[in-house]
Amino acid sequence: VVGRELILRDKLALECEEFDYVLMDCPPSLGILTINALSAVDDVLLPLQPHYLALHGLSKLLQTIDLVA
């Protein structure tokens, strides 16, 4: 399906005008749900553990956020 990464963004644009904030909790993976959420948001909050592997994953996630945004 063309544009499936933008479905959530388009729906939220119509439905969330009356809210100041909408929080989305996504799974710790880069599946289609997470990509949809990343394309729909203005800001991202990333809780993570302070160790090497988490920081390595963070750099990859930040690259993905830059691509999606």
> 21 — phi, psi (to 5°)?
-135, 145
pLDDT tens, position by position, 4-58: 888 889 888 888 888 888 899 998 888 899 999 999 999 999 888 888 888 888 8
- In degrees, to the nearest 5, what angle opens at C-alpha 54 toward C-alphas 26 and 7? 25
Token duo for residue 5: 């990464």
- Band (66; pLDDT cuts 50, 70, 90): very high
pLDDT at 14: 84
pLDDT at 3: 83
User: Could you state, in order of their start, the residue ranges of all structural domains in the chain?
Assistant: 4-68
pLDDT at 1: 62
pTM of the entire predicted model: 0.76
First to last CA, the chain: 20
Q: Which amino acid is at 14?
A: L
> 44 — phi, psi (to 5°)?
-130, 135
